[in-house]
Amino acid sequence: MASVLCVGIATLDYVYAVPELPSQGTKYRATDLEVVGGGIAANAAVAVARLGGKASLLTRLGDDVTGQAIRAGLAADAVDLALSRAIGGCRSPVSAIMVDQAGERMIISYSDPAMPTEPDWLPQALSAETGAVLGDTRWEEGSLRLFRKARAAGIPAVLDGDRKPSDPGLLAAATHVAFSEVGLAEQTGLSDPRDALLSLGSGKAWLAVTAGERGVWMIDKGEVSHSPAFAVDVVDTLGAGDVWHGAFALALAEHQSERQAVRFASAAAAIKCTRFGGRKGAPTRTEVEQFLRERT
Amino acid sequence: MASVLCVGIATLDYVYAVPELPSQGTKYRATDLEVVGGGIAANAAVAVARLGGKASLLTRLGDDVTGQAIRAGLAADAVDLALSRAIGGCRSPVSAIMVDQAGERMIISYSDPAMPTEPDWLPQALSAETGAVLGDTRWEEGSLRLFRKARAAGIPAVLDGDRKPSDPGLLAAATHVAFSEVGLAEQTGLSDPRDALLSLGSGKAWLAVTAGERGVWMIDKGEVSHSPAFAVDVVDTLGAGDVWHGAFALALAEHQSERQAVRFASAAAAIKCTRFGGRKGAPTRTEVEQFLRERT
């Protein structure tokens, strides 16, 4: 069983169903509420576990009931939290997410600025079984530290570039960077995915951008190629990007090629989009393999 | 010590500080978060207790950690919760409140529609010490039941008309109705406070509308009069209307005249507006009395 260590944010999401997204300084009534675990790295870890990998999460929580709810949700999905910590006096990350009837989303997220940035409780070496590290931009010091250990161990270090990292060193440390469209545009100032990837040139990392239903562009040794998305009826995109990155890192940990890994990740994310409830819709291995057989 | 029974909603508010109010289907980062108890009836009960009254709250919570947090906050403010209930299988009311740098607010609130509406656990009679009942429009069946008991006992039944009640019987049952401007406009279709009050005619209830810094209009036996607001430096209006209603009901329970009660309530609400943190800013009796001496 391949093992992926995910490092970054875990949140508790309060998902409010609203007739339309709020836009004014007034009162709105929600028609439904779901309180579910979320967060980029945490969602990716859940995806890894569902897909049959061993998922470990390194995240910083507060010592509050929110943190307890986050832990309980992750434990129920078989995510190993041995490396995560509850920080005394800090509040756990929490988000308000408003979803309208068309599935459009507004996310307001809070992370405690008093949360210590140094992962000084981290063991000196990765466990021998770790097959890949996946990091997000919500805890750059943590991702950077783990990416360096991954490189030293000769395993993939995958960055989820959902936005431009503050520390340029993070891009340099990763072996694989998969941006969101927003993240790549922030990083390069260019809106065309192909131009943007080319402008980042031939660094040391394999680079890609995930563009939802428009598929994935990737660049390797100066060559840009494209992998189309699977056409599905989209119900809920919340967490789909996180599922993509978790599946991609797991495939690399299993020694799949990048091209195979992109296809595997795109299938996992496509299935997730057909189901409501954020990461609750992350698919199992069997579901992805059957989907890929049907679509080939 | 005069006693006020408040009936209606108690919430847990997640108050997000944001550079500007969100308006689009995208991601926003909050700079600060406060998790505080809120809700119309609950805030009014806290105001009553701070002002030296005995405050009881009759509210429906879920059997969840949110409900525990709501209870703990109210108990810390000496609000008696003996008549409140945790309903099995239901979720407690919760709100996301975004506050921008200018103090403008956006509120998204959720109440579990599965919450039973009948207050069948209610004792057959009000306790002998109850001096007034205050009800909100968030639990109309509860307010209606208590208003009838108040009328039968010959004590004031005060409705916080922050919006138009679904059941017209609620207006008929109350002895005193203090609308918000929005509530009165919804009720009458008229935007001018004076015209709107006159259009409701000479019902059985004393009627008023609170209009923030523009003061309070009230009608009694067909005569409209106005009470100006106290000029203060406004920092935070969250919960100010609820504090007004709690103070007003307490003053009536103490046998103050309506005119005195409006002045007392307006002073309490004015002080609250000078302090950040929602109902945390509700003043003590000493503070209100000193404020009234200074402003006379």
Q: Is residue B273 part of a domain?
A: yes
B contacts of A98 (beta carbons < 8 Å): 96, 108
Residues 160-179 of A with CB under 8 A from B: none
Q: Is residue A26 part of a domain?
A: no
Q: Is residue B70 part of a domain?
A: yes
CB contact under 8 A, A16 and B110: yes
Q: Is A72 on the interface with B (CB under 8 A)?
A: no
Q: Is B118 on the interface with A (CB under 8 A)?
A: no
What pLDDT is recorded for position B31?
Answer: 94
Q: Is residue B121 part of a domain?
A: no
DSSP symbol at B16: E
Q: Is A102 on the interface with B (CB under 8 A)?
A: no
B contacts of A109 (beta carbons < 8 Å): 27-30
B contacts of A36 (beta carbons < 8 Å): none
- Rounded CA-CA distance A39/A206 in Å is 24
The beta-carbon neighbor of A30 closest among B35, B105, B108 is B108
CB contact under 8 A, B106 and A26: yes
What pLDDT is recorded for position B202?
Answer: 64
What pLDDT is recorded for position B104?
Answer: 79
CB contact under 8 A, A14 and B98: no
In which band, very low, low, confident or very high, does the pLDDT at A16 lie, cut at 50, 70 and 90? very high
Q: Is residue A150 part of a domain?
A: yes
The beta-carbon neighbor of B33 closest among A21, A104, A110 is A110
Side by side, the strands of the sheet bearing A27-29 are A27-29, B105-110, B94-99, B11-17, B32-38
Is 70 exceeded by the pLDDT of residue A202? no
The answer to whether residues A239 and A272 touch, using CB atoms and an 8 Å cutoff, is yes
ipTM over 0.90: no
Q: How far is B272 from chain A (nearest CA, A)?
A: 20
Q: Is residue B161 part of a domain?
A: yes
What's the angle, vertex CA A93, arms to CA A89 and CA A96, rounded to 5?
135
Q: Is B27 on the interface with A (CB under 8 A)?
A: yes
Token pair 């408040």 is at which residue?
Answer: B6
CB contact under 8 A, B16 and A96: yes
Task: Give every CB contact of residue B225 below 8 A, 6+ residues apart in sequence.
Answer: B217, B218, B219, B259
B contacts of A106 (beta carbons < 8 Å): 22, 24-26, 28
What phi and psi values does residue A15 have, to the nearest 5 degrees? -100, 110
Token pair 């890949």 is at which residue?
Answer: A132
- Tell me the per-residue pLDDT of A265-283, one tens digit each, with 9 for 90 and over: 999 999 999 987 889 999 9
B contacts of A212 (beta carbons < 8 Å): none
CB contact under 8 A, A100 and B65: no
Element (H, E) at A207: strand A206-210
Q: Is residue B210 part of a domain?
A: yes
Residue of A nearest to B32 (CA): A110
Q: Is B293 on the interface with A (CB under 8 A)?
A: no
Of B191, B227, B19, the closest CA to residue B104 belongs to: B19
Whole-number Cα distances in Å, B156 to B146, B148, B263: 11, 10, 17
- Rounded CA-CA distance A30/A21 in Å is 10
Of A19, A18, A16, the closest CA to residue A33 belongs to: A16
Identity of the residue numbered A175:
T
CB contact under 8 A, B94 and A29: no
Q: Is residue A27 part of a domain?
A: no
Task: Give every CB contact of residue A127 below 8 A, 6+ residues apart in sequence.
Answer: A3
Note the pTM of the prediction, 2 decimals: 0.82
Handedness of CA B276, B282, B287, B288 (dihedral sign): positive
Indicate the average pLDDT of chain A.
94
SS3 of residue A157 by DSSP: strand
Q: Is B114 on the interface with A (CB under 8 A)?
A: no
Q: How many CB atoms lie within 10 A of CB B201?
A: 9
Q: What is the mean pLDDT of residues A210-238?
A: 91
- Work out how many CB contacts closer than 8 A connect A with B: 89
Number of domains comprising chain A: 1
What pLDDT is recorded for position A70?
Answer: 97
CATH number of the domain enclosing A148: 3.40.1190.20
B contacts of A110 (beta carbons < 8 Å): 16, 29-30, 32-33
The answer to whether residues A245 and A135 touch, using CB atoms and an 8 Å cutoff, is no
Which site among B36, B91, B108, B236 would you substitute to test the A interface, given the most A Cβ atoms closer than 10 Å to its Cβ? B108
What pLDDT is recorded for position A190?
Answer: 96
Is 70 exceeded by the pLDDT of residue A134? yes
Q: Is A105 on the interface with B (CB under 8 A)?
A: yes
Range of the domain at B213: 3-20+32-112+129-294
Is 80 exceeded by the pLDDT of residue A152? yes
Q: How far is B127 from chain A (nearest CA, A)?
A: 34
Q: How confident is the prediction along chain B (296 residues), in pLDDT tens digits per residue?
A: 999 999 999 999 999 999 999 998 888 999 999 899 999 999 999 999 999 999 999 999 999 989 999 999 999 999 999 999 999 999 999 999 998 887 778 999 999 999 999 888 888 889 999 999 999 999 999 999 999 999 999 999 999 999 999 999 999 999 999 999 999 999 999 999 999 999 997 667 899 999 999 999 999 878 899 999 999 998 888 899 999 999 999 999 999 999 999 999 999 999 999 987 889 999 999 999 999 999 98
- Tell me the per-residue pLDDT of A46-81, one tens digit each, with 9 for 90 and over: 999 999 999 999 999 999 989 999 999 999 999 999
Q: How far is A23 from chain B (nearest CA, A)?
A: 4
Q: What is the mean pLDDT of residues A216-237?
A: 91
- Rounded CA-CA distance A17/A276 in Å is 12
A contacts of B105 (beta carbons < 8 Å): 25
Residue of B nearest to A163 (CA): B27
Q: Is A107 on the interface with B (CB under 8 A)?
A: yes
